[in-house]
Amino acid sequence: MQEFLVAAKPDLQKARQDWLASLEKERRLSPETVEAYERDSRQFLQFLTGHNGAPPGLSDIASLRSADLRGFLAHRRSEGAGPRTLGRGLAGVRSLVRFLERRGLANAAGAAALRAPRQPKSLPKPLTADDARRVVSCSEQLAEEPWIAARNAAVLTLLYGSGLRISEALAIKAGELPGAGVLRVTGKGGKTRLTPVLPLVQQAVAQYRKLCPYHLDPDGLLFRGARGGPLNPAIVQREMKKMRSALNLPDTATPHALRHSFATHLLGRGGDLRTIQELLGHASLSTTQIYTGVDTARLLEIYDAAHPRA
């Protein structure tokens, strides 16, 4: 790692270097993360130098108050740092202080008491309806084995057709999926919900069952890996990555984006938020309301492209 001039007394400089070494060797953080923590902690020590009127030492960190950290965040915000940068900077300082606390050199209470800046909610990026239909089509799957192609199509169809999380789809037992009607899904926190099983979903699963070379015991998992064991989510994600390249889709086209597409397309066709909340299994309506932002963004995009006065 490149050496920088650090505004700190020798005892704190040594402790900080030990902390950075532990991030790399013991916690095995990526070089990019360690570099970001180095930069954030260096900026914090530079702030303390101006704040206290002298380079800080271990004694200054030992007596660190929440007010000192709030001053640092306010200083960084005045320099143009956004919520994500501020949150990462606070995480770096907390990590350093906790490291020193474990060695009896500081008290981390002040750092722990300060709440991180509220992070902006990032809007999910759904696929277009046409792209979603292509992704779930069995004919578009890239696997050479017909039964694996059918399996991938069935899993992706459940994500888009029923709004399931990938973990929920892969947890379905072979005897649970009905021939018609609805499916009882166990989601986050062990909460159950009912979700529709459309004819398109039924057809995709039936094709997979027909071609699957393994016996699908009603009490066993429905979706199997190439060797007959449980299907790993990473396999589905890898296949989706291949399809992104083959179908010229954006990097945001992930298995989870199909669940976003399910919600966004329902909302665009007049579905109400309460119903979509139930179908997605969201505990709070505020989680579902993010899709109103997606739909509004899409409407504005259409407006800008099509309105003669835009």
Tens digit of each residue's pLDDT (9 = 90 or more) over 104-147: 887 766 666 566 566 555 556 778 888 888 898 998 898 889 99
User: Does residue 277 sit within a domain?
Assistant: no
- 260 belongs to the catalytic site: no
d(CA 228, CA 214): 6
Q: How far apart are CA 282 and CA 294, in angstroms?
A: 17
Q: Is 165 a catalytic residue?
A: yes
Burial of residue 104 (number of CB atoms within 10 Å: 0-12, 13-18, 19+): exposed
Tell me the whole-structure pTM to 2 decimals: 0.55
Is 285 contained in some domain?
no
Q: What is the DSSP letter of 224?
A: B
Same domain, 100 and 137: no
Q: Of all helices (H) and strands (E), which one includes residue 185? A: strand 182-186
Cα–Cα distance for residue pair 122/277, rounded to 1 Å: 18
Domain holding 172, by residue range, is 129-255
Same domain as 181, residue 92: no
With respect to residue 122, please indicate whether it lies within any of the assigned structural domains.
no
Provide the domain count of the chain: 2
Do 159 and 244 belong together in one domain? Answer: yes
150 and 233 fall within a common domain: yes
Catalytic position from the list 76, 151, 224, 259: 259
Whether 20 and 38 have beta carbons less than 8 Å apart is answered as: yes
pLDDT at residue number 216: 93
Q: What is the pLDDT along the chain (310 residues), one digit of tens a residue?
A: 445 667 788 898 898 999 999 988 888 878 888 888 898 888 988 988 988 888 988 888 887 788 888 888 888 888 887 877 888 878 888 888 888 888 888 776 666 656 656 655 555 677 888 888 889 899 889 888 999 999 999 999 988 888 888 888 999 999 887 555 778 877 776 777 888 888 888 899 999 999 999 999 999 999 999 999 999 999 999 999 998 888 888 888 888 888 888 777 776 666 655 666 666 665 555 555 565 555 555 545 545 665 555 4
User: Among the options 77, 209, 244, 256, which is catalytic?
Assistant: 256
Which of 255, 277, 301 is at the close of a domain? 255
Reply yes or no on whether 133 is catalytic. Answer: no
Q: Establish if 160 belongs to a structural domain.
A: yes
| Measured distance CA(93)–CA(231) in Å, rounded | 40
User: Domain containing 51 — which CATH number?
Assistant: 1.10.150.130
pLDDT at 277: 62
Catalytic residue among 37, 160, 208, 291: 291
Q: How far apart are CA 124 and CA 255, in angstroms?
A: 12
Statement to judge: residues 83 and 166 lie in one domain: no
Q: What is the pLDDT of residues 268-285, one digit of tens each?
A: 666 655 666 666 665 555
Query: Per the domain annotation, does 286 fall within a domain?
Result: no
pLDDT at 310: 46
Among this protein's residues, is 238 annotated catalytic? no
Catalytic entry in 188, 191, 238, 274: 188
From 165, 193, 224, 265, the catalytic residue: 165
Last residue of a domain, one of 52, 81, 113: 113
